[in-house]
Structure 1
Amino acid sequence: MKITQAFTFESAHRLPHVPETHKCHRMHGHSYRVELQLEGPVDPHTGFVIDFFEVEAIFGPLLTQLDHHCLNEIEGLENPTAENIAVWIWERIKPNLPQTSSVKVFETPHCWAEYEG
């Protein structure tokens, strides 16, 4: 079974490794959406792969680090592309949420990065 829980956060960033003429070189913000997909057997007693409240509790501290912050100032996100944010989340969430099978990071409703480890 696969389940997905989505979270949103607001953050500013700039991409330091693009040309100065690239609009993303300047500081700007996004309304990010993160989707954590988890995979595993359904517990016959609870009916869950994992309780969504447990996912929320585990991801909550990371969400707090990201929300309303400048991503470039977070250790490991000095170049905060959607791809790098997805990997950063994966590396921090997978040890505590081993059922994680993918992390999607949406910069806009029309573009995202997906990381599967």
Structure 2
Amino acid sequence: MIIYKQFTFDSAHFLPNVPEGHKCRQMHGHTYLLTVYAQGELKQPDGWLLDYGDLKAIVKPIVDTLDHALLNNITGLENPTAEMLASWLWTNIKPLLPQLSRIELKETPTSGVIYEG
């Protein structure tokens, strides 16, 4: 069984490793959509894999650290691309959520990354 929960956050970043003149080299922001997937067996007698409230309690504090923050500073990532941010999220969520199986992070409504560890 796979369940998921979605979170949004607004963050700024800049990508110093892209070529001069690239628009992403300058500081800019995104409204990110994060989908966190958990996989495992259904618990009995509950009939669920994990309470959505418990899932939210694990992930939301991590998301809150990113909301309205400069990703270059808060994550320690020099070049916080969507791919690097997805990996950072995995590293911070997985120890708290062993059932984590996938992260989907959308930087725009049409662009994003899927990370499975």
Question: Normalising by the residue count of structure 2, what TM-score does the alignment of the two structures yield?
Answer: 0.96
1:11-68 CA deviation, whole Å, 9 max, x = no partner? 0111110012100001110000111011001112112110111011111221111000
Tell me what 2:113 maps to.
Answer: 113
Residue pairs, 1:95-110, within 5 angstroms:
95-110=95-110
* CA deviation after TM superposition for structure 1 residue 78, in Å: 2.4
> Gaps (5+ residues) in structure 2?
none
* CA deviation after TM superposition for structure 1 residue 91, in Å: 0.5
SS at match of 2:61: helix
SS at match of 1:19: coil
Tell me what 2:36 maps to.
Answer: 36
One-letter amino acid of the structure 1 residue matched with residue 34 of structure 2: V
Q: CA RMSD in A?
A: 0.9
Question: Normalising by the residue count of structure 1, what TM-score does the alignment of the two structures yield?
Answer: 0.96
Matched, 1:26 2:26: yes
Moved more, 74-83 or 105-114: 74-83
Distance in 1 between residues matched to 2:63 and 2:108, nearest whole Å: 18
Distance in 2 between residues matched to 1:62 and 1:20, nearest whole Å: 32
SS at match of 2:30: strand
* CA deviation after TM superposition for structure 1 residue 75, in Å: 3.6
Matched, 1:51 2:51: yes
Q: Is the 8 A contact 2:40 2:99 kept in 1?
A: yes
Between the aligned residues of both structures, percent identity stands at 49
* CA deviation after TM superposition for structure 1 residue 89, in Å: 0.5
Q: Is the 8 A contact 1:11 1:70 kept in 2?
A: yes
Q: Is the 8 A contact 1:76 1:88 kept in 2?
A: no
Q: What is the count of residue pairs matched by the alignment?
A: 117
